[in-house]
Amino acid sequence: MTTPRLLEPYRLQDLELPNRVVMAPLTRSRAGAARIPNATMAEYYAQRSSAGLIISEATTISPQANGWLESPGIYTDEMAAGWRTVTDAVHRRGGRIFLQLWHMGRASHSSFHGGGLPVAPSAVKINGDPIPTPTGKQPHEVPRALETREIPGIVADYGRASARAREAGFDGVEVHAANGYLIDQFLQSRTNLRTDDYGGSIDRRIRFLREVVEAAAAAWPGRRVGVRLSPNGTFNDMGSPNYREQFTQAAAALDRLPLAYLHVVDGLAFGFHGLGDPMTLADFRAAFRGPLIGNCGYTQAAAEAAIESGQADLIAFGRPYISNPDLVERFRSDWPLAEAADMAAWYSPTGAKGYTDFPAYQPRG
């Protein structure tokens, strides 16, 4: 029997993957108030280590980057040591894992920062539902626009976080430039109203992303840095009229950098701004010549078709990995997928419940 392309081995630059199934980053809020990864998190990732590649949940690069309750960080020695327990557990089971680097920008709140406003490229507020904070649900605030002189310090934070990730045993890092967080805020005209070297033209709006990638890549030999983009998304009140030109140029700029891959949230299941035709993997394949990961709402059949057609090299699965730690094995054996009905337990600090208590499939007989 011919092995499906999705389950074939794949060489990602200098990293050998046993299959083309990627575990997408999933924020799960299990790191506690100190934001230090723990034994329960190590068990969770180890359970899913048969993925060709695991991309960790979004992990903040500095105190300024925080804005989500009990999400992990990578800016102290204690955090790096906590992550080392995770990477060791994954590697013991033969897995590979990248750390996703995160700065929330305007999607944060002053209660995470001792009363100081969250930062952003420009003072543009999110229009949306209240957000959970340490003091309960709060309305979004108008962020403080970053001074030009502050930006190199944030770029350096990304570089230090990337170096810590390597020390913590990760196989690489992914720069989170999607879903309306800080880098995406710099990229898009909806949120970037700057007139300095980081705003105005499309090329200037790309500059921050380019500098972050260069800083992150400096910590690694070879190509061990990926980037995630979300050209179609509305999360965190995003979507800009010139999105096609913006993201095509961003992909072309990334093509000139030493990337491991480009990870595109091309599916529309997470929301679509409807400002024109959605961007597809084919649009990015034309601008970026390296490995391409598709993401969002893929079934096994759709993933197989995307790889068979050459649109994608790998496919990332998010929600299916919540309740199917053995997703690769279920794909390989055509076993049914389990459903995770209790959404309240997905992203809340509930310990093992809804996190590590999903069993592997047990065939009858």
The whole-angstrom separation of Cα 205 and Cα 121 is 10
CB atoms within 10 A of CB 274: 11
The whole-angstrom separation of Cα 146 and Cα 139 is 21
Inter-residue contact 208 to 155 (CB < 8 Å): yes
The amino acid at 77: D
Cα-flanking dihedrals φ and ψ of residue 319, to 5°? -55, -35
Strands (DSSP E) contained in 188-232 are 225-229
DSSP alpha helices (H): ranges in 93-201? 151-167, 182-187
Considering the candidates 45, 75, 158, 181, report the single residue annotated as catalytic.
Answer: 181
The DSSP result for 318-354, as a single string, is -HHHHH-TTHHHHHHHTPPPPP---GGGTSSS-TTTT
The whole-angstrom separation of Cα 3 and Cα 272 is 34
Q: Does the active-site annotation cover 181?
A: yes
Inter-residue contact 168 to 80 (CB < 8 Å): yes
* The two structure tokens encoding residue 339: 């459903």
The whole-angstrom separation of Cα 52 and Cα 18 is 5
Q: Residue 147: CB partners within 8 Å, gap ≥ 6?
A: none
Catalytic residues, by residue number, are: 181
